[in-house]
Amino acid sequence: MLNETATRFARATSKSKLAAGILFLRVAESLFGGSDFKCYETVDCFKKGDDMTLPTGFPSSPESVGTKFNLYSMQHKGQAVQISESSPKETLNSYFGTKKDLVFIVHGFGQGEHSTMPIEMKDAFLEKMDCNFVIVLWTEGAKKPLYNIAAANTALVGRQIAFLLKKLTEEFPDTVLSSEVHLIGFSLGAHVAGFCGRTFTLITNKTIGRITGLDPANALFTNSGVHLRASDADFVDVIHTNRGQASRGKMGIDKQCGQVDFYPNGGSRQPGCSWFSVWLQPQEIGGVFRRITDGRTLQVCLLFLHQWVAGQRECV
């Protein structure tokens, strides 16, 4: 009884401190313009220098990023229902009224509604597992060519996922458990997952069960202090397939980010996915990046799916 009371007090104190901090930042922004912080009505405030914001810039507004959450289940594999933090409980009950694992997939830079990777991941999971599967689309916030803006937007999208998770765990406390949540992020999406994990812990005093980082992006994150890290979930596993320096054509972060980091073929270069082979056939910048990204996405996602499906067979 004493432990339960102490836990409730800690949560209330944490929430009140967060609310007070947000109120202070909003007042300061309205009075002084706030070059060190930026506030949005639905997601509260971002402050430079903490671990919830990319040091190089603030995220765009939620309206301009246009994040969407498309929910699928084994019973509704081919048709998504779009959910949000404001979705009524009645709409969500048919999905979350029964205890199931909850999986999120988050795409990377230059990807979005046109990408096949999230759909293929969804199909693979629902073929083997009766879970609720959410494809997080932030197409406008991740679009080319402005990588620095997309990188900054990862903080916003991560926070939006955390707020949605908070709603689901509060409205369905017996069937949506944070320990059964699995976030999977590719490239910038891996850092979205990291921001989500940190934010969720801050606002709930709970931890997400698992985060899988698929080749987390290096540019603007390697030395930022806000990249995906081992403390962002109960278990963080990372697959590195293109690690190295961006100046040398590598797009993946070259440092350990999880409790377990995998380095297939050394984690730097994979068969069939070469930066130099792409540049031998010059295209416009968007085309070159698309081919590199598509090859990189294919390699790391196939590796993850092979690992996951093999794990499912062993469990059976």
Of 281, 185, 267, the closest CA to residue 233 belongs to: 185
Q: What is the DSSP letter of 231?
A: G
Q: How far is residue 140's CA from residue 58's CA, in Å, rounded to a whole number?
A: 16
Per-domain residue ranges of the chain: 1-35, 50-315
Which runs of consecutive H residues, i.e. helices, occur in the chain? 2-32, 62-65, 89-96, 117-128, 139-142, 147-171, 188-204, 275-279, 285-315
Q: Residue 85 corresponds to which tokens in the numbers above?
A: 């933090």
Both tokens assigned to 258: 């999880």
Instruction: Say whether 72 sits in a helix, a strand or coil.
Output: strand
Answer yes or no: is pLDDT of 13 > 90: no
Residues 6+ apart with CB under 8 A from 15: 203
Does position 315 have pLDDT exceeding 50, yes or no?
A: no
Neighbours of 134 (CB within 10 A): 27
Candidates 64, 62, 83; CA nearest to 135 is 83
Contacts of 148 (CB under 8 A, 6+ apart): 56, 57, 220
Q: What is the DSSP string of 239-254?
A: E-SSBS-GGGT--B--
Query: At a CB cut-off of 8 Å and minimum separation 6, what does 102 contact?
Result: 131, 132, 134, 168, 176, 180, 181, 182
Beta carbons of 180 and 207 less than 8 angstroms apart: no
Buried b (16+ CB within 10 A) or exposed e, 58-68: bbbbbeebebb
Which two structure tokens, joined as six digits, stand for 118?
């999230």
- Tens of pLDDT, residues 227-269: 999 999 999 999 898 776 766 667 789 899 999 998 877 666 6
Return the percentage of the chain with pLDDT > 90, whole number: 56
Q: Which of 179, 257, 267, 162 is nearest to 212 (CA)?
A: 257
Q: Please count the CA atoms within 13 angstroms of the CA of 94 that sit on its side-chain side.
A: 11
Query: Does the pLDDT value for residue 12 go beyond 60?
Result: no
C-alpha distance from residue 192 to each of 67, 72, 163, 185, 231 (Å): 12, 20, 13, 7, 14
Give the Cα separation of 212 and 240 in Å (integer): 11
182 φ/ψ sector (left φ>0, alpha ψ -120 to 50, else beta): beta
The pLDDT of residue 36: 86
CATH code of the domain occupying 50-315: 3.40.50.1820
pLDDT band for position 128 (50/70/90)?
confident
pLDDT band at 294 (very low <50, low <70, confident <90, very high): very low
Chain segment 54-88, per-residue pLDDT in tens: 999 999 999 999 999 999 999 999 899 999 988 99
What does the pLDDT average to over 211-219?
Answer: 93
